[in-house]
A and B are shown apart, each in its own frame.
Chain A
Amino acid sequence: MNNGMWALYAREVKRFQKIWIDTIFNPIVSVGLYLAVFGVVTGGRDVATVPYLAFVYIGLLSMNLINASISNPAFALIISKNLGTIIDLQLAPIAPWRVGLAYALAALTRGIVTLGVAVLCTIWFIPLAGIAHPFLLIITILITGLEFGMLGVAFGMWAKGFEALTFLTTFILQPMIFLAGVFYPISALPHPWNIVSQFNPLHHNVNLIRYAATGFADGNPYTSIIVVGVLLFCVAIIMQVVVQKKLRSE
């Protein structure tokens, strides 16, 4: 247990609490709007045994979790670099991997808080019979939040400014999320795009969360478990290397 790391975690949680309208309620408004549109347009349709609204609902929650987790540390670190307060991290007697983990855990916390509030606000309108695999759902949410939190840390440390962050979210992350099977099952895509989509790493996070919540898997859930596990490991290594390099220049 490292007190310094937990103080840094508490500071980063406090930071997003201070701008809670932006960090927590903005994403919930977008989930509500998506649901309203899809509810009207696709009312009564099903994907396999799952009502489409429930299918897309889980996809949207996954998208929210991923977005919140990646943007929280990325924004905080880019702002910190612009202001010069990154020096606090360079001087603190906290190992670089702990610095990264503190930011990633704060990102996970924001992701879970956003997810929790979104569910509380919208679950009443969704035709969900219950949670198919509750334990797997908790684990998958934790892993997904941590994975994208660590990716956000690595990106925030690496990026020189907000242009890079805009590039990441607009040209890489959003297309990957939209093509990850958030709004449709990838099995419904024509060949070869259904195969190509399976190489989208985000698809496996969304697929696993949806499988745990509804019991419906858009692809083999065991493959998704392996992919998500490997990704978590790889992202942890990348984060450690980038944070070490940026906090202590050679």
Chain B
Amino acid sequence: MNPLSLRNVTKTYKTQGKPLITAVNDVSFTIEPGSIHGLLGPNGAGKSTLISMISGMQAPTSGSITLFDVDMVRNPEQAKGFLGVVPQEVVVEMAFTVQEVLYYFSGMYGVPKAQRQGRIDHALEDLQLSDKKDEKAKTLSGGMKRRLMIAKAMIHQPKFLILDEPTAGVDVALRQRIWDIVRRLHAEGTTILFTTHYLEEAEQLCDTITLMNHGAVIKEGKLKDIQKEFSQNSIHFELYDQNVPHPEGVHRTGSEFEFPMRSLAEDMEMLTKHYNSNLKAIRSEAASLESIFLTLTA
């Protein structure tokens, strides 16, 4: 039973006097239980539209979306019960305190009254908001509001958590805190769908990714497999004396020289034979997600 399964999901919009817009085009992928899945793509790739369909805020024009085998179109209330969503935009209630926001929101997800206070205390402690619990949510700083949004998404202990750019515009300390929470929830068995513009973040956290562009999936699978498939690892080295002739294929990048890796043994032999004692440092570099992203979305 997969936490999320998308089959040929398409979303089109009709706008008066303009041609039909296809925001999401025939998207299919599955997320395995207990994984952290990254949904990546440039602006306008269709990620937000897809997230809003998975969250049940919009209905797909065609195709099916199932969460734990429950169809989001046919049975949205049951499907939404599995979900916790941290939306991209930070929005908070004006009238209520931090504690009240969580109290009523958890109630809306069916958390019994007797359990609410304990969960609120735990979530506030987890997100370092305990001292703000009696303050109006509108008076919190931007980072605190973001943390409150995460607390709201976690309060009913969902089996599947969607984080739509949760670290956009937050400072380094909070980003680390959010990463820690994501890792802990993952370790506890929560399945996580994550969108981000920071590719190093996806690289650090995600087991599997889906790359989207122009509304369609352009690559999907395990991050390691994609890295292996799409990029040539390279050898980087530094020299004491840089004014020496170089073998074919070697080019300079800043203070370093690099060339595509063929076989580590052969490459090392070539380096020591050609440069010998002139070699200052050697390292190999794996393909970055950023380079794959740029290659695929170019």
Contact = CB atoms under 8 A, between A and B. Distances in A.
A160 interface: no
B60 to A, nearest CB: 10
Contacts of A90: 55-57
A249 B57 contact: yes
B92 A85 contact: yes
B57 A93 contact: no
Interface string B20-41: 0000000000000000000000
Contact of A93 (B91, B93, B95, B110): B110
Nearest to B60: A250
A248 interface: yes
B100 A84 contact: no
Contacts of B104: 7-8, 10-11, 14
A88 B93 CA distance: 10
Interface in B57-101: 57-59, 76-81, 83, 85, 87, 89, 91-96, 100
A165 B151 CA distance: 34
A10 B56 CA distance: 24
B259 interface: no
B89 A84 contact: yes
B56 A83 contact: no
Given A87-B57, A91-B57, A93-B81, A3 B91 contact: no
Nearest to A16: B95
Contacts of A191: none
Contact of A4 (B55, B59, B96, B107): B107
A3 B110 contact: yes
Interface residues of B, number: 31
A84 B92 CA distance: 8
A91 B83 contact: yes
A90 B89 CA distance: 14
A94 B152 CA distance: 16
A45 interface: no
Contact of A85 (B57, B78, B93): B93
A156 to B, nearest CB: 16
Contacts of A7: 104, 106-108
Contact of A249 (B58, B76, B91, B93): B58
Contacts of A4: 107-110
A15 interface: yes
Interface string A1-24: 001101110110011001100000
B112 interface: yes
Nearest to B79: A93
A3 B83 CA distance: 17
A238 to B, nearest CB: 21
Contact of B91 (A6, A18, A83): A83
Nearest to B14: A250
Nearest to B91: A84
B59 A248 contact: yes
A88 B96 CA distance: 14
Interface string A88-100: 1011111100000
Contacts of B59: 248-250
Nearest to A247: B57
Given A83-B91, A93-B78, A249-B57, 20 more contacts: A3-B112, A4-B108, A4-B109, A11-B96, A11-B107, A14-B100, A14-B104, A15-B95, A18-B95, A18-B96, A79-B94, A83-B92, A85-B93, A87-B57, A87-B91, A90-B55, A93-B108, A247-B57, A248-B58, A250-B58
Interface of B: 55-59, 76-81, 83, 85, 87, 89, 91-96, 100, 104-110, 112, 152
Leading 3 A-B pairs by shortest Cβ distance: A7-B107, A84-B91, A11-B104
